[in-house]
Structure 1
Amino acid sequence: NFGATISGNNINLVKTGYSINNWYHCLTTFNGSKLKMFINGIAVDSSNASNSISINNLPIRIGRRAGAGNFNCWFNGKIDDIGIWNRALTQQEITSLYQGCTGSVTASITPQGNTTFCAGNSVVLNATSGSGYTYQWSLNGNVINGATLSTISATQQGNYMVNIVAGGCTYPSNSINVNVNALPNVSINGLPNFINYFASPVQVIALPNGGISSGLGYSNGVFTPSIAGLGFKKIQYQYTDNNGCAGSASLSTIVYDTLCANPLGFIKSASNKIDLFPNPVQETITIKGNVPPHSSLEIFDTNGNLVFQELLSSENEQISIRQLKRALYHYRIINAGKILKSASIIKE
């Protein structure tokens, strides 16, 4: 059994289960507020304690319990290599004593930046460097696989420390706490995918409050289609919290002019009996009806630029417009310079 006692606090640290006929390195530290016990360089127990170590002329007893009175209370075994310090040793010093290291490496970690940052960022931690040193980093007491260089880029929250091996001895460093602040959860909602140019203004909800927004037709939480204009429109919202961490969200819609559409999405031309469907369209449109030979389909963007052209070869033809971006377009079917059909179409 190994134990440590601070009188007056009724604190006893006792560890059992150690086999006989084996050497053990036993060490106890007391820093005025905490009593710790180490076996073979490893902390096995601790307890808060507030008493001070008294100074008197009584002899130091080694191998016998103090104040045993008429009881012998002798240690039944061998004791060697005794040391007493006037301060509490560090973990690094305790490890070196256990390993019997005669050299001295001050293992320390120096952060190259702020150790508190927002998620997605990092801080570089530098360990003491030296010839022949090897390293093993750990996070919250768990070894980080592959982290065997003198530096590490810390991205996760927790306590980082490094073991430096030099001359066959291991020197544990101090620990560095890294605090990672989460990014704010930012959202913006309220707009449909498509909205008519003449529709009433729409209330848009952006959370958390207090952010910065931008976008044509958007002001004070309200989107007005007639101010935004025709075509693809995007509202951007960015919010920065008290920790300086920023998040963003966006919302988009397509403002279209008035279309004449039946529930099946057909746009009909009574005069030429030409149908183009579906509308809105995702990838393929179908043109069906009385389409004269040598007719062609032309598609223009909202700026009037010709973005697609296809010669029509039959009265029932499927045409892929997959390459066009999601937006509002204007199309026309022409033959011999005459417009047979003209309308707007939405590409989803």
Structure 2
Amino acid sequence: MLVVLPPKIYKNIFLIAASCMMLFHNRFSLAQTLVTTVEAESGTRAGGLTIATANAGYSGTGYITNMTSAADKLTIPVTVPSAGNYQLVIRYNGPYGPKDQDIYVNGVFVSSLHFPETTGYTDLTAGSLTLNAGANTIGIYKNWGYTDFDKISLFTVPLHDYSTVAPNLIDANATPEAKALYNYIKAGYGTRIISGQTSDYYNTVSPNAAKKPVIRAYDFQHYTVGYSYLWNNATASHTFGWEDDGTTQAAIDWYNSTCQKGMVAFHWHWHSPSGGQAGTNTFYTNSTAFDVTKAVTQGTPEYTAVIRDIDSIATQLKRLQAAGVPVLWRPLHEAGGAWFWWGAKGPAAALALYDMVYNRIVNYHNIHNLIWQWSTPEANWYPGNSKVDMLGYDSYPGAYNYGTQKLIFDQLYTIVNGQKILAMTENGPIPDPDLCFSSDAKWAYVMSWSDLVTQQNSSAQLNLVYNHAKVLTLDEVTTATNTAQLTAAGPAAICTGGSVLLKANTAKGYTYKWYNGTNLITGSTSSAYTATTAGSYTVTVTATGACTTTSAPLAVTSAMPAVLITPASATTFCQGENVKLNASTGAGYTYQWKIGGVAVAGSTSSSYTATSGGSYTVEVTSGAGCKDTSPGTDVVVTSPSIWYADTDGDGAGDPAVTKTACAKPANYVATAGDACPNDANKTAAGNCGCNKTEASCLDCMGVPNGTAALDVCNQCAGGTSDITPKTNISQCTTTSAVAAFASTIKMYPNPTAVDCHIQLPGNAFNVVIYNGAGTAVFNKTFENEAVVGAELPQGIYLVRIEQDGNIELKKLIKE
């Protein structure tokens, strides 16, 4: 038969009477502005409270004293300009030793408060209170009593910063599981409260079967030889002795059954290493004579006994580590209360023992799966931020008291300077989650103790807590140890020939399958995979207990630049022209242009203007440092040629009308030599010139195919005329000379796109226009001025002008 009395039957007696043995700092930790000060004697007194003046040093007209009975309550009115949190500072005198009192706001319990012993009046920075805009009341109700109160002051105070928590555990060699658990708790700190319950009532605490607590707390008290409840069947009585009651294995099994979603916590009701009476709770100071000051002194029997017990607990912690279970580890809890033997001799011995526990477990036994917690709230008992991962408070303000312990939270925050996670490591009543957030007392988790969860919480309160949007329950947990996680150890954009290491979360007993898209990557079963090709990668992780999850996809992309040259115009062009070559663009791209594989100095923009022939490429480097070279783009530069106008379209050009170009212009040919550029039937003048049919051609003497023609003096000469042609106008002896006649003719504009004006003074004159084929297309007589050409198509024409026997031939170009 085994009978074990729950430790809290005894401890709760102490905690109800002294729930907060805090040593507060009498200074401000944050910049504040005074809002109001109210004398205590101006408040409302209940019970036997009186105003006194005997102890000098008070302000105002006196101070409040005689807080000795349960009915003694001081209620002080305060007025603030706006709703919010205000720092409370209480000026008091504690000549009767350290005492605890209870603080109320507007008649509602907020927190217990510890008043250290003083020899005069002093300011106690109590923490912050949430007040309404306008009138409020602050109550100081007797808990222990025997404290005098002078005045209270309120100051502005900023909200706590929950992001300043230390990024790493104090154990530099912490296991991946411990790191993952700490990071998960840290990530949600200030935004949610994690639910917790001791193991014995774990399965019955939640009114919602789907909403189980996340943390399950176990006790190591059976695993030392000083355990005082080992049952001796022979004597039918308790005796001392170590026993494995299955707690360690139960914790492992439960953790695996949750697919590593659950969080395992262990405390240790350390039965006295020696002494005490079997069948009693020898961890209590009043049940053993064991001296902790001797236990921390090497060479003593007490020291040897303590090392023996630590080593015994280490065997269980090693089992948990081997199983991959991270542990919220809370040794030497509530040391400052002095009701346990490890705190009976003050802080120095307790802190020395804590150091022994840490060094023996971590450095001697190489146990690294622990998140180290300290849960006594007094500042002078705190081991320091370098030795603690989380600071806790064990809250027992009395049944159905759902206050947030706001003042205690503020003091803990000050002790750790905001650098450690704060948790309610034990509680009777569960604080109201809404009040925790509205008052800025955002405990990382709560941990309901045994059957007190039902004895000190109403069913309505449990229903509120376990269905609250900001209270985390087991079904909502997605830590890195129970959900497949996939990360890239470097940039997930890779170059051709490059790779990136993909890493899955690791823990004891995990197995892995890697996928690219839906395709299983055969043979890849480790916690890491080297990806050498682009794709959408996932990893399926199967944990102990056959719990399988698949990670979110991680995209591995090609960081190779898109390399292509796009010409802005034709790549074959005439000398003196150019083409703009444009490369593909992208964020972070850099460029180097090349001709025939040789870099062009200074050509590093996304475009290049080519003026010479060759094979052009561009080397592009992406922002990730990947390089690629475009295919070649061939540029051809041609030299210009002389082209001759082929007005009559006979394939021979007019040597007098040319263009220089690389490409053949319209109506131009490469060959010159057309003496009759307006005669499609002739390239040479023949007997009677261009634009004539040789067989019917009459010369000026009227002889068919004759060779007589008008000379410069406008005389019919040559051929059969027997007249020698004059070639010099000075030889002319009459006013009918060709040059003189020609000088009187004005013909404009020429060339023309519309019509042409021919002005000739004197008698009427005749105008005949011939096309390139020698056909007369216009014949008309005019006075003084002729307007011709409007009706003519584009081309080159011969205009014959005759007046008084004088004839002049002119060329007309119609555009």
Same fold (TM over 0.5): no
- TM-score, L = length of structure 1: 0.37
Which structure: larger Rg? Answer: 2
- TM-score, L = length of structure 2: 0.19
Larger % of strand: which?
A: 1
